[in-house]
Structure 1
Amino acid sequence: MSAAIALDPLCRGVGLSTSDRLDKAADGAALWLGPYASVLLWPATEADLADTTITAEAWFGDLLLQEEDSRSARVLDGYLLICLPAKPPETLEPVLRSIELSTRICRKHVVWPEADGEWRRFDSVTVLRLPEGVTSVASDLQWPTLSNDGKAMWADIQDRGGVAAAQAEEKRA
């Protein structure tokens, strides 16, 4: 599965929509925009990884500035995903680390498909989603047991409000 096809449902799941604003972008680039963030997928090869990242970063920086200007200076988080066709060799680890730790323009991630075709490195892109949570079943919910002092304080908070109850407690102490 291509990176763009795998990434699309993750972006849509957090309110980002595909955009065709890809003038002068690399062939194979894909863009998702939303009210608070943008994700740009930009293809690269191992041989041109560093140079491609600089080019993609400059292109994305211009787009983010245009978007922020059109939104009356509202800040837009940018996530640049540099997409390799396969897992890079360990010798590229320092380059990958340098790219991903860079704070220029936007957050950056280098992604590639695993041997099974899955794009697991999308999991590190914070804007895409939070991990699936486990929720309590309503019957599992329990209120804490309060001491008599705790019950009296809770009643005071309900009667006077939090600030007044805290001030009264402070005077008692």
Structure 2
Amino acid sequence: MPEQATHVDIASAYAELDPLSAKVGFKRVDSLPHAEATTPAPQGTALWSATYARLLLWPCPGSDATTVEASAQAGQRWFDEVLVEGERRSGGRPLDGYLVLALPEAPQDDAREDIRRLELSTQVCRKHLIWPPAPDDPDRHIVCWRRVAEVTVLGFPDIGAEAVPSGELYWPEIDTEAMALWEELNAIGVPAAVSRDTNA
């Protein structure tokens, strides 16, 4: 794992992301994969992996719009290679990607609109921003990072281990009437069943 970034307490971000990630089937990888991207992963970068997705924590050195945009682009390029390689290794099964930019402080007011646009973009992966609470934040003693719960894949309610996604496909249980219809569709085909029902 890369050394801890000096501009933020990145270890506290790991501590917040680890348990939430585990609840939805993610595990933090021991070492980052090699990527040929022009920008190397910054110090403190961490990757969580699941059968269906990857989550990347990418430290950002500033909270102004220009720095956030540049970090997002660099992280996205690096992450794209990781996702493509992961899909190749899984036999072409698509992987969702979640890029979490760790800002040193809340975004500057003039950056809010650009940041909203960035978070709405789904190019390559979903993008989210988190930051530590301000010194005057009344919740600073109980919340290490703001907006972690808004990371789409992690923001689910506490639903228990039985809902953790897996790579297995399961056939849903259906009632006898639905099963009879399914067997009929398999026996005579969809066009014949539609034609019969239309003429009935």
Q: TM-score range by the shorter chain?
A: 0.7 to 0.9
Shift of 1:77: 0.6
Shift of 1:111: 0.9
Query: 1:21: which partner in 2?
Result: 32
Runs of 4+ in 1 over 3 A off after TM superposition: 162-165
Shift of 1:67: 0.4
8 Å CA contact 2:131, 2:147 repeated in 1: yes
Q: Which has the larger radius of gyration?
A: 1
SS of residue in 1 equivalent to 2:153 = helix
1:36 to 52, 72, 86: 52
8 Å CA contact 2:63, 2:106 repeated in 1: no
Q: Which runs of no fewer than 5 residues in structure 2 stay unpaired?
A: 1-8, 35-39, 135-139, 160-174, 182-196
Call closer, same or farther: CA 1:161–1:65 in 2, change over 3 Å. Answer: same
**Cα distance in 1, alignment partners of residues 26 and 180 from structure 2:** 44
Q: How does 1:53-68 map to 2 (within 5 A)?
A: 53-68=72-87
* Number of aligned residues: 143
1:46 to 50, 60, 63: 63
**Cα distance in 1, alignment partners of residues 69 and 180 from structure 2:** 59
- Aligned alpha-carbon RMSD (Å): 2.5
8 Å CA contact 1:37, 1:78 repeated in 2: yes
8 Å CA contact 1:40, 1:79 repeated in 2: yes
**Cα distance in 1, alignment partners of residues 88 and 180 from structure 2:** 45
- Paired-residue identity, %: 38
1:97 to 116, 134, 138: 116
